[in-house]
Amino acid sequence: MKPPLLLSYVVFLIITTQSIPSTTGAKDFIYDVKGKKVLNDAPYSIGPVIWAKGGGIKLTDTKNNKKVCPSYVVQDPAEVNKGGEFLFTLISDDEKREKYLQTSRTLGIDSGRPKNGSCEKWTFWQIADPDAKPPSNLVTTGGTFEEDVSCFQIVDYPKPTSPKVHSYMLQHCPYYCGGTPPVRCYNVSLYEDKGTRHLSVSSGTPFEFVFEKAK
């Protein structure tokens, strides 16, 4: 009698063990280009999977040679440029801060402390009105943490360009942070205006990007 009992226990164990990933609570970590887990609230650059398609994401405070405030979040036209450094910070109810970034979790994206002389007080990415036309649906700085306008999440890119690297897309989710029912999120894509590629929620292929840790 003993061996069959043991066997069925082993089978039961295998079944229960395999069903664990489908239950809630499993964490979907985010990985950088080197395959390392992306840290929560730490400086990273983001850029396209294939750098020939342009450089990294950065801020610009000029448009048509005029100063603008707050800054726009744009793609550097030169592929050699990694762009700026940004801190992706999970919005969490836990007192304890999470160590690693995860997909499908609301977060704020900080451009760092305002520089001396810069026009803006706050440096989180925001979108003034995702349902409006440009420039209102372009990503700018000037937001604060944990607001509806500055609420984003990162999700796996549905059809990655390369099976070797982890690539992601960004979504703007104002309803997820504002206390209203989580109606929908908006895909962030590139919107070209007079030669400048803005991050925006204008329709179009979502912007596919990778993380690179800042030195």
Per CB under 6 A, residues contacting ligand NAG are: 116, 158, 187, 206
- Name the helix (H) or strand (E) containing 127: strand 124-127
**CB 127 to ligand NAG: min, Å:** 14
Task: Report the SS3 class of residue 18.
Answer: helix
Output 39 or 107, the one with its CB closest to ligand NAG.
Answer: 107
**CB 149 to ligand NAG: min, Å:** 18
Distances (CA, A) of 161 to 64, 165, 201: 33, 8, 21
**CB 167 to ligand NAG: min, Å:** 12
Single out the residue of 127, 115, 214, 112 nearest to residue 171, CA to CA.
127
Contact 200, 215 (CB under 8 A): no
Output 97 or 184, the one with its CB closest to ligand NAG.
Answer: 184
**CB 184 to ligand NAG: min, Å:** 6
Output 81 or 103, the one with its CB closest to ligand NAG.
Answer: 103
Output 158 or 195, the one with its CB closest to ligand NAG.
Answer: 158
Specify the length of the chain in residues. Answer: 215
